[in-house]
Amino acid sequence: MTTTTLPAHDVKDLSLAPKGRLRIEWADRSMPVLALIRERFEREKPLQGVRLSGCLHVTTETGNLARTLKAGGAEVVLCASNPLSTQDDVAASLVADDGISVYAIKGEDNRTYYAHIRAALAFHPNVTMDDGADLVSSLLFIALGREDKLEPSLAAWVKALSAAERKAMLDAVIGGTEETTTGVIRLKAMETEGVLRFPVLAVNDAETKHFFDNRYGTGQSTVDGIVRATNLLLAGLNFVVAGYGWCGKGVAMRARGLGANVIVTEINPVKAIEAAMDGLRVLPMSEAAKIGDVFVTVTGNKSVLREEHFAVMKSGAVVANSGHFNVEIEIPALEKRAVSRRKIREFVEEFRLADGRALFLLGEGRLINLAAAEGHPASVMDMSFANQALGAEYMVKNHAGLGKKVHPIPTAIDAEIARLKLGAMGITIDRLTPEQERYLAGWEEGT
Amino acid sequence: MTTTTLPAHDVKDLSLAPKGRLRIEWADRSMPVLALIRERFEREKPLQGVRLSGCLHVTTETGNLARTLKAGGAEVVLCASNPLSTQDDVAASLVADDGISVYAIKGEDNRTYYAHIRAALAFHPNVTMDDGADLVSSLLFIALGREDKLEPSLAAWVKALSAAERKAMLDAVIGGTEETTTGVIRLKAMETEGVLRFPVLAVNDAETKHFFDNRYGTGQSTVDGIVRATNLLLAGLNFVVAGYGWCGKGVAMRARGLGANVIVTEINPVKAIEAAMDGLRVLPMSEAAKIGDVFVTVTGNKSVLREEHFAVMKSGAVVANSGHFNVEIEIPALEKRAVSRRKIREFVEEFRLADGRALFLLGEGRLINLAAAEGHPASVMDMSFANQALGAEYMVKNHAGLGKKVHPIPTAIDAEIARLKLGAMGITIDRLTPEQERYLAGWEEGT
Amino acid sequence: MTTTTLPAHDVKDLSLAPKGRLRIEWADRSMPVLALIRERFEREKPLQGVRLSGCLHVTTETGNLARTLKAGGAEVVLCASNPLSTQDDVAASLVADDGISVYAIKGEDNRTYYAHIRAALAFHPNVTMDDGADLVSSLLFIALGREDKLEPSLAAWVKALSAAERKAMLDAVIGGTEETTTGVIRLKAMETEGVLRFPVLAVNDAETKHFFDNRYGTGQSTVDGIVRATNLLLAGLNFVVAGYGWCGKGVAMRARGLGANVIVTEINPVKAIEAAMDGLRVLPMSEAAKIGDVFVTVTGNKSVLREEHFAVMKSGAVVANSGHFNVEIEIPALEKRAVSRRKIREFVEEFRLADGRALFLLGEGRLINLAAAEGHPASVMDMSFANQALGAEYMVKNHAGLGKKVHPIPTAIDAEIARLKLGAMGITIDRLTPEQERYLAGWEEGT
Amino acid sequence: MTTTTLPAHDVKDLSLAPKGRLRIEWADRSMPVLALIRERFEREKPLQGVRLSGCLHVTTETGNLARTLKAGGAEVVLCASNPLSTQDDVAASLVADDGISVYAIKGEDNRTYYAHIRAALAFHPNVTMDDGADLVSSLLFIALGREDKLEPSLAAWVKALSAAERKAMLDAVIGGTEETTTGVIRLKAMETEGVLRFPVLAVNDAETKHFFDNRYGTGQSTVDGIVRATNLLLAGLNFVVAGYGWCGKGVAMRARGLGANVIVTEINPVKAIEAAMDGLRVLPMSEAAKIGDVFVTVTGNKSVLREEHFAVMKSGAVVANSGHFNVEIEIPALEKRAVSRRKIREFVEEFRLADGRALFLLGEGRLINLAAAEGHPASVMDMSFANQALGAEYMVKNHAGLGKKVHPIPTAIDAEIARLKLGAMGITIDRLTPEQERYLAGWEEGT
């Protein structure tokens, strides 16, 4: 389908659309659950007339989500949730082939990034779909009159709005959904502070999301990003993973699967013991920094790698981030120590220090799996985005009864997605016999 | 320490005490957290005067728990929670060296098993410590006048009690603790039915318990039990694990670690997808039954392996259970099909079927890690039993404020155990900087 | 260094040289052994005046080998050993920055490929350095008067040579070296037939080569190539590896390390049992073909995937090759069955069959690790190419005493490379005590 | 079959025979290749009249080998190849049920051990079957007049023999076979010194032997022995493996598979790099000694763990050996440093040092897999002992043409065993097509 009139957009090059179309189609082969939802949405139009702004990584998988939302009747605006994660051919195809407004260019500067956020806000969405809570937090800053916290050009735009315009924009929102661990943490802080203005569904917390996307998805794509960026042989390297949550477990599992000697750093004793019993070394970062060959941060925290660590790293050490924001590595500290800086390969920057050591930063410290590779593979995003699509539908139908809080995805949705996915994978499992159901419900049978 | 007057007891052979003493001491080397608690208990006597009945696997690790409870001032009676799990030398040593009443004999028959439960009840415990909820459920049957549900000799004893005696026994109980997934499921069913008479702490649900004991403990000890029983080379065998909960994940991980080709069966779609993405085959049991060389059930359910499965298994197939109760394998169905039956090795029984096939049942279908090996190694039981000891203390101090429900272990206890364990393992981890604490508490910093 | 007069060459675009230079430098960081050899070669000039033609994959690692040979005094001509494996920026940099004659363009057609071989022959090399034995076999066809076996344009060139010219070309060669398993197999067939005209060193058979390059190098880079080409999540896929030699073991190990369910096909019973005991499924290809999601051939054989297999594959199956030649997958059979064909992603071609199924061929069936990724990482090529450099030096010094056979790399060279590599990895190992040396040399100490 | 007159023997307790019989039968279920050979031997009697002395670990698997040799017509005498490896019930059954002369008692002292060797020599064997070369080396000492190298009581017996008796004993031997790496090293030293008096087949070097038995067999059974002896949880422990040959690779693989953090020590740079690229830490023992929790030696060398290492080990460290001889751990040095010593568990001895540290030695430093567990599982011994049985047959038929050297097992035997084993495992593999056979034999097809 090619629309005759293109929607409003800001993408790199519309001529990339045919390539993007094929890549979206390729991803779609691995997203059977989302395809089933799309078929139903096409028939039932549950999102008819809903304006939806998504601030997401504009990848082939997101392309299929956007197509699904549109099939359901929604008007969709997409902006990037990270300056380096956009796939320009996908952005082009969504505009040219699907008539979806996309504002996203790979490598865009900070001002452009926020100009794109602005477009998503100016659309007056009824539903926000966030990956890191940038839309919701922007709306809150506006609602709270805290334009000083916004990026300057975005702040200027807000200040120029009339009170009525602001109110219209804020009142339009009935609810949101959030994709990431990091975003959910931010939203819960908003909830705790009592400033959240509408219900948000924590898509991240669905079992069919974080068990798979955060573990298998982040795991493979992070080592993929590092290998694409560096072509290093991981076998035999000391590979330091900061954080042993679901993402960290995934990265550690895959780095080890490629032969690395994995070292974990943690702040949580339970996770630290888990890492040790998984056969990994657990060290404080001050010790790990001295022996690591490759470092990956996946903590959701900031300044996990900082000046004190750069001070003791081996020459040649490679540092990368796969957590949501680019604050996990304290890049300013690295810049401060560096006497020279150059790009040595795509996504590999060398920082030469005064003592002669060279440290290598990958992908500007942004999500390396999206910067240097293609993000999570489609087969896990299938489940994550099925949660997004069904979550949006649920929000539209149920927002009135939901408090201004962070809500879990209903377990029925989670279970249904698992069931569909299992079927699509061609796997049959057992069912409880009536006798077993009785047994599990009772307590009387013992030794 | 040798007590001059021995407490009441029923153990196999007191002359085994010296051997048991050394083995308890050996386990104690790997239980530093429990040792620290024991030192404090010795000083503070938080359980002074408390009567505590434990229905537990009488192993070296339980020996150290019992010593800790006694050090805290408790009077302790121990009975077996499984007819095959008692280590007779440990039972002897606890009686002879620690003056603890123990009622447990490896291989005891069903009637003896319940005579031992009876001794634990007749002690009129203030606190019950269960591994499978047999003490609590017995008390409930008595309270509900359902002696018909009790084993006949136990029922006869109860019926012979005066109403006052029953009341005294029931009223003595202020609370309990429960060690296992299976027991917690039963207790929650009691809670749901509204019949639970006192608060119970779900020790199983502590992170420092089920993440470790159920996974690493059950994992290693189950394959250990199977190897000790059979001396089979696991490499290259089709190893079927029924259930992919924490225990099943542990067993699958270790079987694969020994070179087996692991097949998982499940009833839960999410766990089934996890197993598949962990690189394992997922099949319904009707298919797995045809190709498995070794089968292990770890489901908490009953009749997971049943007649329809025995009907299609290969000759030579080995079946074992590592779930709490011996109902996961439907042994009567196996007996019914068998034309002959003989013990071919310790813990290996051959069932010859009419069609000439031979199936091998390990350890009478009871927990194979306790029947043929020594149960969970001490270093994981250190955390599990630290939860038991601190849970008992918590119950004594706080029972009045706790409803007649299943309660979680307080997170402070869980965290403290993790901290102590980590220290004992010699592992140092990171601490949040003040800047990081602020960052994690806020929501304002975004892209 | 920029040479003022460029050597003869045929590369894609000399303006890519700066990018290639940096990438060569990056690889050089992981090639410390070759760097040490280069330093010595620079001083000692052991290859002074030697004309050396290398038919190799023109990658960053080969760049550092070529620089080393030149440092040793050799005049070097490089041509591609595979039409898809050339890195054009590297080719440019070698010409522009190092003054090395390079004839290689990524994606060159067959005729160009052979025009480049011709250039390497026309150089009248004293030493050939092959990766697949294409230079040596071309020389043999010429020597045997079998121009009919040569590619037509190459044949035409040969026929136009005078007898004296041919003789000069043939007589110039004092010996060769060979990098691959496939090449060594071909050379041994030549030796068996009695047609080999000069000694060749089997670099492939050095322990420091095939234990590492073929296993860890092919392993990582093959799955890397497949992931780059497809962005498929490997976790949970049926991943079929044809061949369980060193390369196949490496690929299987890494695919499993990324969560795939690995199936192995073999023709050798011993290797098949090894695969089974490594916990993998072993099937004949006729069975594996029905259930595989991804197929990789690493056999050194031809038509390993052929019409009968394409006939039963699932729609969506992905087929790739990581063996030396592109005959392991019978592409003509695939073409014959296809009703349509299109490129859906870079290096992914869809073949639509009459029955509606779609099969996907990666990288035209050529070495996927070189076609879609960057070939073996530098740290393994460090050892492989250290063998090449020292092998060339050895050949120059010792060719007179070597028969017209395939010779192993001298063990002293192999051991020296291992020692240097270990030092470069910062690893210290034990040394035998005098007592241990005596013990190992004797036989008299027993029980 | 119960023989009416028992053969000469020295075993612990003949009443154990029925238990041993069942255990031999159990092992036989996993030894289908040996069973096929036994059937043929029964028909063809290829060893008719041959006197064969085997100095082997007297386990259930050896029981099936002995039964096979006897089925082939041989007269068999078995003595133990290690004082701790005998399974007394098996020894009893072989005597009582099979009429085989066995001289072996678990835990026998050194003098008894050599009395049993003497019985094997006094039998005047035509074929020796060694596991560590103790029979062959004893014969050589006798031949060389070096009785001073023999154990005193054995020496005394030899000295009492007449020259004719000695000659008869020596001349009777037509050849031998050897099971182990250690034995083959000793035999090659004999060959090098020119003292070997008859041909010996290096069974160890068959692919169907050392690829499987040394790796999967030693791997599983060694960790099994350590776990049985200690009940330690391996997860999270620093597990030091000395030696990364086939046995060490197996042990490391299995220890890691149980969650240990594996550290390797080596003297060979190539193996050290392999270990590092397998993701393991490689350290000199002087460093590993400081951090190891468990140590296993599998080197074939002596004093691998010695005084300097005991001096720095952590209190609680566990040391075990799985190499052939008990000299890998320098036990005298440990005894010298100890101020007290006690057995704390079966196969666990505590050495208390003057500085208060406690070190734990397993199984007296003898092969821990045989001392504390049951040795290699039957399914690998099936292949190893198939080589022994066919090797003995080959030696009987071909000894005349074989020089006084160490000979490989003929590849045809090796291949036949692999083929039979594969069939018994129910695995089907591919066969070369005629086109593929031509391709592999030729060199003409290239790029």
Mean pLDDT of B287-303: 97
Q: Closest residue of B to A419, CA-based?
A: B269
Cα–Cα distance for residue pair B426/A284, rounded to 1 Å: 12
List, edge to edge, every strand of the sheet that includes A261-265. A281-282, A261-265, A238-242, A294-297, A318-321, A358-362, A348-353, A338-345
Question: What confidence tens digit (pLDDT) does each residue in A272-311 have?
Answer: 999 999 999 999 999 999 999 999 999 999 999 999 999 9
CB-based contact C236 A377, cutoff 8 Å: no
Task: Answer whether C7's CB lies under 8 Å from C99's CB.
Answer: yes
pLDDT score at C4? 64
C113 touches D at CB < 8 Å: yes
Separation CA C117–CA C107 (nearest Å): 15
Chain A hits for C343, CB-CB cut-off 8 Å, are 22
Contacts of B22 in chain D (CB under 8 A): 343-345
| D273 interfaces chain A, CB cutoff of 8 Å | yes
- Please state the rounded mean pLDDT for residues B438-447: 84
Tokens describing residue D246: 């086939």
Taking the C-alpha atoms of residue C94 and residue C98, their distance in angstroms, rounded to an integer, is 5
What pLDDT score was predicted for residue A395? 98
- Does residue B345 sit at the D interface (CB-CB below 8 Å)? yes
Q: Enumerate the residues of chain C whose CB falls inside 8 A of the CB of residue B278.
A: 235, 259
Distance (Å) from the C-alpha of residue B252 to the closest C-alpha of chain C? 12
Instruction: Tokens 């003057």: give the residue.
Output: D354
C270 phi/psi in degrees, rounded to 5: -65, -45
Q: How far does CA A183 lie from the centroid of its chain?
A: 9
Instruction: Please check whether residue D374 is in contact with residue D60, taking contact to mean a CB–CB distance below 8 angstroms.
Output: yes
Nearest by CB to residue D236, choosing from A259, A260, A276, is: A276
Q: Is C278 on the interface with B (CB under 8 A)?
A: yes
Mean pLDDT on A79-105: 97
Say if residues D267 and C431 touch (Cβ distance below 8 Å): yes
Measured between CB atoms, which of C265, C433, C444 is closest to D149? C444
Q: A102 in helix, strand or coil?
A: strand
Could you tell me if A30 lies within 8 Å of chain B, comparing CB atoms?
Answer: no
Distance between B349 CA and the closest CA of chain D, angstroms: 11
Give the Cα separation of C2 and C18 in Å (integer). Answer: 11
Chain A contact set for C59 (CB, 8 A)? none
Selected for mutation to probe chain D from A244, A258, A261 (highest D CB count within 10 Å) is A261
Question: Are B121 and B143 contacting, i.e. CB atoms less than 8 angstroms apart?
Answer: no
Report, as an integer, the average pLDDT of B10-26.
97
C-alpha distance from residue B94 to each of B65, B91, B115, B132, B395 (Å): 11, 5, 19, 22, 24
Give just the sign of the alpha carbon dihedral A303, A304, A305, A307.
positive
Of D22, D345, D377, the CB nearest to B231: D377
User: How far apart (Å, rounded) are the C-alpha atoms in residues B234 and D258?
Assistant: 13
Q: Per residue of chain C (447 residues), give pLDDT as tens.
A: 444 689 999 999 999 999 999 999 999 999 999 999 999 999 999 999 999 999 999 999 999 999 999 999 999 999 999 999 999 999 999 999 999 999 999 999 999 999 999 999 999 999 999 999 999 999 999 999 999 999 999 999 999 999 999 999 999 999 999 999 999 999 999 999 999 999 999 999 999 999 999 999 999 999 999 999 999 999 999 999 999 999 999 999 999 999 999 999 999 999 999 999 999 999 999 999 999 999 999 999 999 999 999 999 999 999 999 999 999 999 999 999 999 999 999 999 999 999 999 999 999 999 999 999 999 999 999 999 999 999 999 999 999 999 999 999 999 999 999 999 999 999 999 999 999 999 998 888 777
A386-433 per-position pLDDT tens digit: 999 999 999 999 999 999 999 999 999 999 999 999 999 999 999 999
pLDDT score recorded for residue A4: 64
Q: Does the beta carbon of C168 lie under 8 angstroms from any beta carbon of chain B?
A: no
Question: Would the CB atoms of D267 and C432 count as touching at under 8 Å?
Answer: yes
Convert A406-422 to b/e letters by CB count within 10 Å (16 or more is b).
bbebeeebbbbbbbbbb
Q: Which residue has the tokens 């490496």?
A: C250
Which positions in chain B touch C233 (Cβ < 8 Å)? 277
Which residue in D170, D171, D206, D200 sits closest to D186, CA to CA?
A: D200
Neighbours of D171 (CB within 10 A): 11
Cβ proximity of C102 and C91 under 8 Å: yes
Element (H, E) at B122: helix B110-122
Contact status of D261 with chain A (Cβ, < 8 Å): yes
Residue of A nearest to B113 (CA): A447
- Residue C442 confidence (pLDDT): 87
Q: Do A134 and B419 touch (CB under 8 A)?
A: no
How much is the pLDDT for B2?
46
Q: In chain B, what is the straight-line distance between the N-terminal and C-terminal CA atoms, in Å?
A: 65
Nearest-CA distance D114 → chain C (Å): 9
E strand segments, B89-156: 101-103, 127-130
Q: Which residue of D has its CA nearest to C181?
A: D440
| Interface contact flag, D262 A279, Cβ < 8 Å | yes
Gap between the Cα atoms of B74 and B46, Å rounded: 8
CB contact under 8 A, B380 and D227: no
> Which residues of chain C make contact with A232, given a CB cutoff of 8 A?
30, 377-379
Residue in B closest to C262 by C-alpha = B279
pLDDT for residue B4: 64
3-state per-residue secondary structure call for chain D: CCCCCCCCCECCCHHHHHHHHHHHHHHHCCCHHHHHHHHHHHHHCCCCCCEEEEEECCCHHHHHHHHHHHHCCCEEEEEECCCCCCCHHHHHHHHHHHCCEEECCCCCCHHHHHHHHHHHHHCCCCEEEECCCHHHHHHHHHHCCCHHHCCHHHHHHHHHCCHHHHHHHHHHCCEEEECCHHHHHHHHHHHHHCCCCCCEEEHHHCHHHHCCHHHHHHHHHHHHHHHHHHCCCCCCCEEEEECCCHHHHHHHHHHHHCCCEEEEECCCHHHHHHHHHCCCEECCHHHHHHHCCEEEECCCCCCCECHHHHCCCCCCCEEEECCCCCCCECHHHHHHHEEEEEEEECCEEEEEECCCCEEEEEHHHCCHHHHCCCCCCHHHHHHHHHHHHHHHHHHHHHHHHCCCCEEECCHHHHHHHHHHHHHHCCCCCCCCCHHHHHHHHCCCCCC
- What is A400-411 written as a DSSP string? GGS-SSEEEPPH
Does the beta carbon of D264 lie under 8 angstroms from any beta carbon of chain A? no
C–D interface: beta-carbon pairs under 8 A: 178
Phi/psi of residue D12, nearest 5 degrees: -70, -50
Asked if B236 is an interface residue toward chain D (Cβ–Cβ < 8 A), one would say yes
Instruction: Answer whether residue B413 shows pLDDT above 50.
Output: yes
User: For chains A and B, what is the number of CB pairs under 8 angstroms?
Assistant: 177
Nearest CA in chain A to D261: A279
User: What number is the ipTM of this complex?
Assistant: 0.94
pLDDT at A445: 79
The answer, for D309 touching chain B at a CB cutoff of 8 Å, is no
Find the CB nearest A277 among D236, D277, D278: D236
Low-confidence ranges of chain D (pLDDT < 50): 1-3
Q: Which of D233, D314, D344 to mutate to test the interface with B (most CBs of B within 10 A)?
A: D233
Q: Look up tokens 């098996």; give the residue.
A: D90
Partner chains of C (3+ C-beta pairs under 8 Å): A, B, D
What would the pLDDT profile of A120-176 be if each residue is shown by its tens digit?
Answer: 999 999 999 999 999 999 999 999 999 999 999 999 999 999 999 999 999 999 999
Return the structure tokens found at A447: 């030794």
Say if residue B445's pLDDT is above 90. Answer: no
Q: Which pLDDT belongs to residue A3?
A: 47
pLDDT in tens, A329-379: 999 999 999 999 999 999 999 999 999 999 999 999 999 999 999 999 999
